Structure 1
């Protein structure tokens, strides 16, 4: 059976799949070519159509063979009374049907001739699916994604959207489709789950296409790269870093040819202009040169220019002497008698560069809330320099924008609130530095993409000129190029930085210290400790933990 995919002459418009349509053209006469068993990373700037293409494949708008089992992980699972484990198990509809038929046939509730399948055939197919290992496999997958036994047995309606996204991802990994489509799979994961998912996908033996902003994740998981650029799909062998290298080499080669052609064209034009109407012999040579010029101009190399890099900048307030923030014997918990952690003692200064890592639910975001005084310690105290200014980025902050307002009005309102001049021209000029120029600055915020809203939030952070930046998962919704720009801006920032992120590259480029938050277990409060080592060593520690807990052993048996 042919399991490779090749679909040519694809034309796709924004909003054409699952939307109102009428949007700009995203792909023009593109070709989708997927070799079975290959792991592809799909890259390209925000807004070029990567997510739309995945939707088009998943809903068969792009006509791939009907026998292909395709799963697209985009939406969270529904919240109902089924447990997380039950929800993952029931995602395998074939197994569920076979178990139902087994029950009916064993109890003589239906005869084989009416069932269309014999009991022996049911048993054979269940054995092919390794049905006996199904619950163990589902539990292993959920464990890798951060669920403990208690969480696995909770109804899905009791989980937040982020955790239900993990369940949805767990369903996809459990059913092992022929073609797995993952759109930003790391967005709702912590470093623990991201590292596990990488290791799990490395063993994946079917076709997978991943859209991700996480450069390290792409480098370790994918073996080929699809570049969506100028409305076409360009294919490269190798990981993301290999793609960058090969593309740079091709561009350098093209630029060399283009320069050579430009010099040759200039020489030919000069010769034609000088001798085109002179002596017969020279005129004939000029005619010959003219034909050569036409041929060279017809072969002109089209240079592949990138969109200009976004340049972010976070100006800092004048440095304060340490300590800026002192945390002394602090304990905190949201529920009485259930402390998230206790006995916290540390300080944050204008030269701090801290990344907080650990499993979801351990209290990483709560740490930032404590530093900002959004929540108050149960015991102990936190002192702050009287002149300290803090600016904080969170995904929740994006939801708090007045969605009917535009970016210009938002910045003008900030300026007016502190008595600063609030001219439209200055606001537009300022927003342009954050990639919000033209009509993006005057469109209602609700029409902006997640990445564009993040840029507006960055513009607000910069406007506040803080002493300390608190960043809670700032890379969600950003493309790889914008993450690079963010890392450069944070590195140039002359104040302190405390960062919660699962993005390896941002952590490696920005952080000098790793603070590991351990989740509360039973009656034992969690803890915060400094990890003595690099982020790469931290990942190695997690991988050793996966091996010791046997979290990577999932039966891959599933015959067509």
Structure 2
């Protein structure tokens, strides 16, 4: 069996894409014989993740990224494995599916190992935390907030002990320098203190320091008079082969976006949030109405599938150099990438060797390079570590002259 004894949900949708002709229900059916128990489990999992009967019969390729992620989750949960590995399971999930998954895992009776950058999700689903830092693995009891509190307490204690040792070392060195070559009895005391000093230096007190915080800088473009984007009486629906529109995603949309706008686009998976951003950029045209854009408007868009648009064989440096026809020097590109945490060998290695979070940082570097008037962010926190997410929130709260439309399911990101 492909899954063996371990159910694994990865953010990559390779498995789902390879069986895109199968329906969500059939993907689970092949894992269990046709029995009343199997049907009940399938229905409970898929219904809990928001599928109705019609959606269960649809080909997987007809679903959005969020619904495909739910299918992969259902596959992993269906087997009730002894060890369940979840790698960024909240990516692409809307609030309803995320709430259901939190409740499901809170009542999970077997071992689950979660890699996630969703703080609220970790707090509700975990009872222990493993922290990888400085090439070491540290184990903490409790959820993520408990880990932060205990780590802060341990760090404060270690820092106090380190300062105490520094004062003691300074005192011992002073005594040794003063009396090391004096009277015989004082020289013996100095030798004794040299042994104590050596013991302290051989067993240093380690302090758990944080890595330097990443500072994301998005330079502001020259301001434009409002409105930058005008949406007038717009409606949209995806047409069928015969040209008919079976379902209208939205209609009667009238609004404007200027350089001071800050908009959150929310809704369940499949509601058409990503499609709406495509309307704003002009990638698709509305079925009714008109979308107008300022002649000098520069728009930068971060998409859910930005990684697929990069050449995996290129280095980050060459990727940045290819953004302009005239090109930039290697030194300038490396300096620029360093601002986004891609320094040293990371900037020179092929993109395919970067982690998901590092690729997202490269995408943000590309956005900032364009100096846009409007930022369109489609699930921008997927794959980013918690520190980078928090820094993004701090940076974006400052006054700035570019507008932003943020599509996000995460609760913390919307609060920012």
Indicate yes or no: 2:148 matched with 1:209: no
Q: How much does 1:158 deviate? A: 5.5
1:268 touches 1:289 (CA, 8 Å); kept in 2?
Answer: yes
Instruction: Return the alpha-carbon distance in structure 1 between the equivalents of residues 188 and 405 of structure 2.
Output: 74
Number of the residue aligned with 1:313: 217
Indicate yes or no: 2:15 matched with 1:76: yes
Q: How much does 1:223 deviate? A: 2.0
TM-score by length of 2: 0.89
2:264 touches 2:407 (CA, 8 Å); kept in 1?
Answer: yes
Unaligned runs of 5+ in 1: 1-57, 60-68, 100-130, 510-560
Instruction: Return the alpha-carbon distance in structure 1 between the equivalents of residues 334 and 291 of structure 2.
Output: 39
Instruction: Return the alpha-carbon distance in structure 1 between the equivalents of residues 58 and 304 of structure 2.
Output: 26
Q: How much does 1:275 deviate? A: 0.3
Q: How much does 1:466 deviate? A: 1.2
1:472 touches 1:500 (CA, 8 Å); kept in 2?
Answer: yes
Q: Deviations over 1:140-186 (max 9, x none)?
A: 32123232211112345665776444223113223322221111111
Instruction: Return the alpha-carbon distance in structure 2 between the equivalents of residues 81 and 398 of structure 1.
Output: 24
Q: Deviations over 1:521-548 (max 9, x none)?
A: xxxxxxxxxxxxxxxxxxxxxxxxxxxx
Instruction: Return the alpha-carbon distance in structure 1 between the equivalents of residues 82 and 386 of structure 2.
Output: 28
Q: How much does 1:80 deviate? A: 6.5
1:192 touches 1:358 (CA, 8 Å); kept in 2?
Answer: no
RMSD: 2.4
Against the structure 1 CA distance between its residues 371 and 80, is the aligned structure 2 distance closer, same or farther, given a 3 Å change threshold?
closer
Number of the residue aligned with 1:171: 75
| Counterpart among 217, 228, 238 of residue 132 in structure 2 | 228
Greater length-normalized contact order (CA 8 Å, ≥ 6 residues apart): 1
2:379 touches 2:407 (CA, 8 Å); kept in 1?
Answer: yes
TM-score by length of 1: 0.67
Q: How much does 1:343 deviate? A: 1.0
Number of the residue aligned with 1:460: 366
Indicate yes or no: 2:292 matched with 1:292: no
Secondary structure at the residue paired with 1:395? coil
Alignment of 1:328-407 (within 5 A): 328-335=232-239, 336-338=244-246, 339-407=248-316
Indicate yes or no: 2:408 matched with 1:504: no
Instruction: Return the alpha-carbon distance in structure 1 between the equivalents of residues 64 and 272 of structure 2.
Output: 15
Q: Deviations over 1:477-504 (max 9, x none)?
A: 2222222233233333432111112222
Indicate yes or no: 2:48 matched with 1:144: yes
Q: How much does 1:133 deviate? A: 4.9
Against the structure 1 CA distance between its residues 144 and 252, is the aligned structure 2 distance closer, same or farther, given a 3 Å change threshold?
same
Q: How much does 1:241 deviate? A: 1.9
| Segment of structure 1 superposing worse, 358-367 or 345-354 | 345-354
Against the structure 1 CA distance between its residues 83 and 404, is the aligned structure 2 distance closer, same or farther, given a 3 Å change threshold?
closer
Q: How much does 1:406 deviate? A: 2.4
Number of the residue aligned with 2:148: 244
2:91 touches 2:382 (CA, 8 Å); kept in 1?
Answer: yes
Against the structure 1 CA distance between its residues 371 and 240, is the aligned structure 2 distance closer, same or farther, given a 3 Å change threshold?
same
